[in-house]
Amino acid sequence: MTGPQNLNVGVIGDGAMGTLCSAMLAARGARVTLWSAFADHVAELRRDRENRRFLPGVPLPAGVEVTGDAAQLPRDAAFILSAVPTPYLRDVLVRIAADVPPGAPIVSVTKGIENDSLLRPSEVIRDVLGGARTVAVLSGPCIAAEVARRLPATVVVACDDAGVAHLAQEALGSPHFRVYRSADPTGVELAGALKNVIAVAAGICDGLRLGDNAKAALLTRGLVEITRLGAALGARRDTFAGLAGMGDLVTTCVSPHGRNRAVGEAIGRGRSLDEILAAMEQVAEGVRTTRSAVALARRHGVEMPITEEVHAVLFEDKRPQQAIRDLMTRPWRAENEESGGP
């Protein structure tokens, strides 16, 4: 495989995914400038050449320069990779908008849907940086700690501009990190966001010890309602059967590393949401995304019974056992009935 030698790339966000992508880009020959919003973390990353908070044990290659000054993002960047969690994305972009190179496309690895506006991360990026900005989205089953150990992983990058998708594919792809292209950024982005809601439900199943049959049914029917909402928003149905949909859903719902599944499991074991979130250093996107997913489904008249029950458990004090009972006692339907639930 040819590498992205001599490319300049800026990375916004110092979490696990931003750090991982920086390391992978540099390993492929790119010159990377990693921007962090936090001066103390910039100092740690420069001193240790390792992100001990979010991706311990992974050395930063020499090709990665860490900065707290967004003005140092390369003006001739081939692209800017955005890895800021959805709850903070808008504020971060507003803060550094003047320093983001105006001609550079954005490759977003953020998963979520903004509350209130109900915008996807790519839409937030365009809302802040300008509607003409080219934005690609990269998603799929990608546990950062596994990829950092060079374990095989496969993802998909989607963009309306095939050239930008190909650029990201070449820049990030390697023998252990296979990147496919897609022309459905809406579907890829929605799949990456909505699967986190189902992951919370899967964790609740684990916490309640409901067994493998229940979890298999949950993933299957969860994918149905994710696909249903995606289609209503203009996405291609087959995208949800691919890496960003089914692939990421399986990983998120079974991996012990999954933050959203872990939140659900703790709820199933009787802990409160506030207690769980207070103990977490990283963002569990599925919690906030649940609010957005329910609002979008109601706006577009789409039935999402699993998502509705997750919302009731998270925000309406419904007992998980009652939510399961209510799902299991819905009226009988044909499996492929479009307006039906689980």
Q: How far apart are CA 145 and CA 133, in angstroms?
A: 31
The residues spanned by each domain of the chain are 8-183, 187-328
3-state SS assignment for residue 138: strand
Of the pLDDT bands very low, low, confident and very high (cuts 50, 70, 90), residue 4 is: low
- Told to judge if 215 belongs to the known catalytic residues of this protein, a careful annotator would answer no
- Average pLDDT along the chain: 95
- Rounded CA separation 145/130 (Å): 34
Report in angstroms the alpha-carbon separations of 279 from 112, 262, 271, 303. 21, 12, 12, 33
Q: Which CATH entry fits the domain spanning 187-328: 1.10.1040.10, 2.40.340.10, 1.20.1250.20, 3.30.470.20?
A: 1.10.1040.10
Amino acid 2: pLDDT:
52
Question: What CATH code would you report for 8-183?
Answer: 3.40.50.720
Question: What are the φ and ψ backbone dihedral angles of 179, each rounded to 5 degrees?
Answer: -120, 120
pTM, to two decimals: 0.94
Cβ atoms of 156 and 191 within 8 Å: the answer is no
pLDDT, mean of residues 139-149: 95
Q: What percent of the chain has pLDDT over 70?
A: 97
Q: What is the pLDDT of residues 241-255, one digit of tens each?
A: 999 999 999 999 999
Residue 157 phi/psi, 5-degree rounding, is -115, 130
- Single out the catalytic residue among 111, 195, 215, 318: 195
Across the chain, where does the E strand assignment appear?
A: 8-12, 31-35, 50-51, 55-59, 64-67, 79-82, 106-108, 135-139, 153-158, 177-182
The closest alpha carbon to 230, from 188, 292, 200, 201, belongs to 188
Is the confidence at residue 3, as pLDDT, over 70? no
Say if residue 340's pLDDT is above 50: no
